[in-house]
Copies of this chain bind each other. A is one copy, B any other.
Amino acid sequence: MRDMLGREELVTVAEALAILFQHAPFRRPAEILVGLDDCCGMVVSRDIEAPEDLPGFSRSTVDGFAVRSSDTFGASESLPAYLPVAGEIPMGKKPSVSLRKGECVRIATGGMLPDGADAVVMFEHTQLLDEKTIEVMRPVSPGENVIQAGEDVRKGECVLRCGHRLRPQDVGALAGLGITSVWAYDRPKVSIISTGDEIVSPGAPVQPGQVRDINSFTLSGLVSHAGGTALKKGIIEDRYEAIRDVVEESLRGSEMVLITGGSSVGTKDVTAKVINEAGEPGVLFHGVALKPGKPLIGGVVGTTPLFGLPGHPAAVHLCFEIFIRPVLAMQSGAEEQRLEKRRRMISARIARNVSSSPGREEHIGVIIEEREGELWAVPLLGKSGLITTLTRAVGTAVIPMMKSGVREGDPVDVRLF
């Protein structure tokens, strides 16, 4: 695992992901009971069964007239069926009358079918002959324009499975079934530790040689966005004991630990040592064939994943998207979401020649322009430590590992932020 200069050898992105997931399942957050108003975005931790039929009664799906379908057979515009209107179904109430043969009853969308009716004629397919009689100009078949009791959900049926991340429409469905709280996995807690003797907090005065903490703010936002709860552990001096103590405390109180700033192969880099000595298996890889992001450390202690992130803001962002987000999704209990990645990938043509070193996957910040209906990815030039490249970019174009670059006009995959 070490090259001739004593440095760890690089693994590819795919190898690094495979090594990480060999150590799954990772530590999971506790199950909690959550009310409907707070559960959107959370992951269901137990299968949810319907406590009752939905709908609980046969309902009209249109505005019109409840009928016996047999009374409309053969009706047409030239030979309509004439039906006296025996009344109107009140909304929200069980009809007090039942439908007699040859009659109809006015009903609105969502109204409960009266006894005797088996279909609804749409308002648009009728004419009022007088106040008490309609002409029906089309026949309806049994069950037409009606949702039967239990047709949507049967009592006892599983409506949402363990591992499903609740979307707004799912919460609506729970409300419809009278379910007012659900068991879900709590949001995974992610400890964020900034290291580096040169780092100061954004509100503090900055002296020559010092820089402000960028990465713990970026990481907090990314963690929240990915469904986790960020725990900022502050800025820790670059000393083995200091970092070790915070990592040990973090291992007790969170489901994932992120350490930024200490992963370059520098004199004061102690992250790998801390991870290795915190417990088995320790560091799984140190260095990935990825630009930016090469110095990334991935490790596991017990069942808790830990990452040592490079100090460059662009590298932090990219490593989060490629490595941390999928691990966090698994920890949150969400079933693998195949479509998640596709949702953020678009194809575009690269607007400029870009050279790249074969043997590493390279990501370049881009903006997207539309030219004659085609999407073009325009690379933002700038050194990898620049934050303006990150704030201006709408995503990154990917140059695959085995390519030595792309030429203007070549198709590239763009991962949107």
Q: Is residue A61 within 8 Å, beta carbon to beta carbon, of the partner chain?
A: yes
Tell me the nearest residue of chain B to A367, going by C-beta. B339
* B147-A266 in contact (CB<8A): no
In the assembled complex, A390 has its CB within 8 A of some CB on chain B: yes
Once the chains bind, are B264 and A109 in contact (CB under 8 Å)?
A: yes
Q: Is A352 an interface residue (CB 8 A)?
A: no
Q: Given the complex, which residues of B lie within 8 Å of A202, measured CB to CB?
A: 36, 174-180
The residues of B that contact A386 with a CB separation of less than 8 Å are 147, 151-152
Contact B346 A344 (CB under 8 A): no
**Number of this chain's copies in the complex:** 2
Q: Which residues of B contact A339 (CB under 8 A)?
A: 346, 368, 394, 416
Other-chain residue from B168, B203, B211, B218 in contact with A110 (beta carbon distance below 8 A): B211
Q: Contact at B391–A57, with CB atoms within 8 Å?
A: no
A56 CB to closest chain B CB (Å) equals: 6
The listed residue (B63, B385, B394, B416) touching A265 by CB distance below 8 A is B63
Q: Mark A323-349, 1 if CB is under 8 A from B, else 0.
A: 000000000000000110011101000
Partner of A172, one of B110, B199, B390: B390
Shortest C-beta distance, A372 to chain B (Å), equals 15
A residues 385-405 in Cβ contact with B at 8 Å: 385-388, 390-391, 394
Whether B112 lies near A172 (C-beta < 8 A) is: no
Q: Chain B residues with Cβ under 8 A from A238's Cβ? A: 91
Distance between Cα atoms of A342 and B214 in the complex (Å)? 30
A36 and B388 CA atoms in complex are apart in Å by 18
A317 on interface, CB distance cutoff 8 Å:
yes
Interface: A313 (CB within 8 A): yes
Chain B, residue nearest A173 (CB) = B387
A2 at the interface (CB under 8 A from B): no
Closest chain B CB from A207 CB (angstroms): 7
Contacting chain B: which of A221-229, A270-278, A280-288?
A221-229
- Interface assignment of A121: CB less than 8 Å from any CB of chain B: no
Do A168 and B264 touch across chains, with their CB atoms under 8 A apart?
no
Report whether B209 and A93 are in contact in the complex, using a CB–CB cutoff of 8 Å: yes
Would A56 and B388 count as touching, CB distance under 8 A?
no
A5 at the interface (CB under 8 A from B): yes
A157 to B301, CA, bound (A): 44
The 4 closest A-B pairs by CB, nearest first: A168-B221, A172-B218, A92-B198, A94-B208
Given contacts A177-B212, A180-B203, 6 further A-B contacts (CB under 8 A): A108-B264, A112-B209, A168-B219, A168-B220, A176-B202, A178-B202
